[in-house]
Amino acid sequence: MSRPALLHNMSSPPRSAIQHSAPVSSSRTALYQLPPQFEEPSPGAILASLDGRPWAEGAKKAETELRRRINEHALKLPLPPAVLATNKAGARESVEDLLTVCTVLAKSSDRVYLRDKEPNLDRIEFGRRITLRFPGAMEPKV
């Protein structure tokens, strides 16, 4: 069985043109990274900076206290339970609040921030940066 021949009229120019413009993205991005004074961050150093006085109760208690504060703070942040994350630069704004930065770093992988994730304090490291991308309808004020 043979296929029917297809006829193409290529002798005349097209009579219509299709144009499409992509909508402007209404997403917002925010960059989270430790400030320069935390080249070697430790839970005790972070707590000392947050409290304005040296932490003197030992490293283990500092870890426990920092985890507690991060979990409490995550519930107060105006962020959705899960947010797309990347380690690429290009964020329009940089977040300065130390506890917020530590919370996002500790609860983020390289691809997603999860509010209910157990904090991983090893992810709070100098030089690591996380950019969260918020859809236009979800614009937190952080």
Give residue-wise pLDDT tens across range 71-110.
999 999 999 999 999 887 666 788 999 999 999 999 999 8
Q: Determine, yes or no, domain membership for 33.
A: yes
Q: Determine, yes or no, domain membership for 98.
A: yes
Residue with the larger pLDDT of the pair 9 and 55 = 55
Q: Determine, yes or no, domain membership for 118.
A: yes
Question: How many CB atoms are located within 10 Å of the residue 6 CB?
Answer: 5
Rounded Cα distance, 134 and 62, in Å: 32
pLDDT of 137 strictly over 60: no
Q: Determine, yes or no, domain membership for 21.
A: no
Distance of CA 65 to the CA centre of its chain: 23
Containing domain of residue 123, as a range? 28-134
Among 2-16, 83-97, 106-120, the range with the most confident prediction by mean pLDDT is 106-120
Rounded Cα distance, 47 and 13, in Å: 72
pTM of the model: 0.76
